[in-house]
Structure 1
């Protein structure tokens, strides 16, 4: 800052802030195609990798900052590794589901054959052909690729609105807890590192939601974190400092569970034909919530317990809203808008219907016909 004019420095900082907000979207955008390539029982593993890398990096960052103690060097250390991602771009396959619903089945088959070869398996050409015919069938919503058309599918619209609201709540609460860690007492470096280390425990979350589903674990994470926040605010003056710190960090760890589950929930609720647009909106509005969180944390200057009281209340609200979402664990990802509209209304996944024989297929066609009539 000594070598640049003040207005130029402010311009660069504003640009960095814009890139950081966009980075929230880019940070999670890679999760979507990976999830689409995973089976229903394996969709937790990309989330596990994301939680582990995030938590480990967060635990190490304050001690790297302490070691270098120069913001310029710290900026280089945290920024230069990002350039390595360009070297891996050519190895990232396009989503096979997206290719198939856009009539590019041969490209999807090529990617799947390559993946099968690496895994020492062979692509079941007959099964792939059935799926391809099913996904490229002429349906009323086959060619629709606009979020605006979601209004014709009320159940899908309800689920998407709820998912976005819950994502905003989880972003506000998670980043609010993270930013408030320095207010819990002790050294900022040690408190931040300890808080990030507690998030490593959240690596158990993918296994929990794989065994118990998405909805009820996420509701429990929200309610438990909210309870910790409210108790911290109400009992702060009578609790010893160590117990206050433990209660605050417990709330942060639990909201990490809700945040991680919500990160998994969105891609599983959004249909393939609009998944990219939906996630862009999802992450953008989450960024708006993150933008608000420092203002809540700043209320510590007026009342030390107020930030966690507000964050705790929002978490409790999130827990209540979560109960209104359908369960997605073990279900096939919805491909079209009609698939998304059937999710949670007794509709079944494509593979499960197909394996159920002729009667299963008839039930699915009947459900689709009802959904088409509702959308008309």
Structure 2
């Protein structure tokens, strides 16, 4: 007899999986679009509102303060009220707050709204990856999760297009760009109505009939008839009084992987957001005008897509650990090269390499996280790692102005060192390629 999770793991990739991946991925892309837009808004407001580097730093960081809190709270809520419910709620929160940001009359109001935006953004990402991981067949789970993360590149590319075409068009260009962020609020209605709830979550809550109905739908999509009740195995029973309560992520069994995962999250956030939030402004600082800076950023962003594609192919061949470490090492080399690049072609080439390797690493990281924890703590485990990483994303935009007097070589040398530390931590994570998710 097979359990419901074993039945899901044995299915081929069907139209139901595709719709789940697309539905979650669109939310992921909208998330990336919002994060990416702020880097272009910063460059525009530096001119329009005559903002200091300190004000710009806080404008870039305040959203990440919200993301840190959102990631921790979102993961905890996902383990208590469900993955789908939290996913829809986060889309609603950050969509409305982003739309309201377009009406901000001053930097203080804009920062306050960016904090609320961050709450929604931070909670959405780990919850979406957990939901998709719990439905993906185990033999291709890593690849599916990298593809989910690849939607980030589509969202950031959309942000770059908006930044290039809309923001420079007039004094209110940045307001129109942020107004587009209200789209996720409408998308949340679709998410709530159409995406399935996690079967593993439903089982931990004793909602067996709902779980069985969802599994039967996925089996029907694969052309398999419903199994007789006698052929179905019940999931392992939770200990008395422990339903919905999970093993601590700092238990003796899990603490080493938690520490390593947190280290990778911290270092990759520090380098990624330090570099890419400031990228348009740093290009302006090198002497490029606003339009050319946005155009170069758009070209650099395009390199994210092949990075994801290669990571998706390698993660089931090399394994999670080696793929993640290799892309982090490539990111370190590219960051150092960018810091010392001179003419425009060196800037673009090094920037594309950084974009390629860094986003491939992100794809592998999101594939690894949900595989490290049992069902009852999967949301909180991935969410807490994301929350800890967001502390670095808060610090990075603030650190860049402090390092800039030493030159951009120093700035990107620090980012390269962080990537090296992340690669070392990645090698200590357990390898879970092809393994079933823990019950």
Fold-level match, TM-score > 0.5? yes
1:14 maps to 2:118: no
Stretches of structure 2 lacking an aligned partner (at least 5 in a row): 1-47, 50-101
Q: What's 2:187 paired with? A: 84
Q: Are the aligned partners of 1:179 and 1:297 in contact in 2 as well (CA < 8 Å)?
A: no
2:264 to 145, 149, 166: 166
Q: What's 2:421 paired with? A: 317
Q: What's 2:40 paired with? A: none
How many angstroms apart in 1 are the aligned matches of 2:197 and 2:328? Answer: 34
How many angstroms apart in 1 are the aligned matches of 2:379 and 2:265? Answer: 16
Q: What's 2:306 paired with? A: 201
How many angstroms apart in 2 are the aligned matches of 1:128 and 1:91? Answer: 29
How many angstroms apart in 2 are the aligned matches of 1:251 and 1:65? Answer: 20
1:105 maps to 2:208: yes
1:216 maps to 2:322: yes
How many angstroms apart in 2 are the aligned matches of 1:64 and 1:6? Answer: 21
1:284 maps to 2:387: yes
**CA deviations over 1:112-152 (Å, ceiling 9, x no partner):** 1122223322344579733x24x22649x9647256x344x
**Superposed CA RMSD:** 2.9
Cα 1:88–1:207 change in 2 (3 A) is same
Q: CA deviation at 1:48?
A: 4.3
1:23 maps to 2:121: yes
1:122 counterpart SS class: coil
Stretches of structure 1 lacking an aligned partner (at least 5 in a row): 336-376
Which residues in structure 2 correspond to 1:132-143 (within 5 Å)?
A: 132-133=234-235, 135-136=236-237, 138=239, 143=243
1:145 maps to 2:245: yes
How many angstroms apart in 2 are the aligned matches of 1:92 and 1:197? Answer: 29
Q: CA deviation at 1:5?
A: 9.0
Cα 1:115–1:142 change in 2 (3 A) is same
Q: Of the two, which has the highest radius of gyration? A: 1
Q: CA deviation at 1:278?
A: 1.8
Cα 1:125–1:15 change in 2 (3 A) is farther
Which residues in structure 2 correspond to 1:30-45 (within 5 Å)?
A: 30-45=128-143
* Aligned pairs, number: 326
**CA deviations over 1:28-60 (Å, ceiling 9, x no partner):** 422211210111123245434434432123223
Q: Are the aligned partners of 2:204 and 2:238 in contact in 1 as well (CA < 8 Å)?
A: no
Q: Which runs of 4+ in 1 moved over 6 A?
A: 1-5
Cα 1:300–1:125 change in 2 (3 A) is farther
1:181 maps to 2:279: yes
Cα 1:67–1:162 change in 2 (3 A) is same
Cα 1:88–1:231 change in 2 (3 A) is closer
Q: Are the aligned partners of 1:174 and 1:259 in contact in 2 as well (CA < 8 Å)?
A: no
1:120 counterpart SS class: coil
Identify which of structures 1 and 2 has the higher relative contact order when contacts are C-alpha pairs closer than 8 Å and 6+ apart: 2
Q: Are the aligned partners of 1:41 and 1:330 in contact in 2 as well (CA < 8 Å)?
A: yes
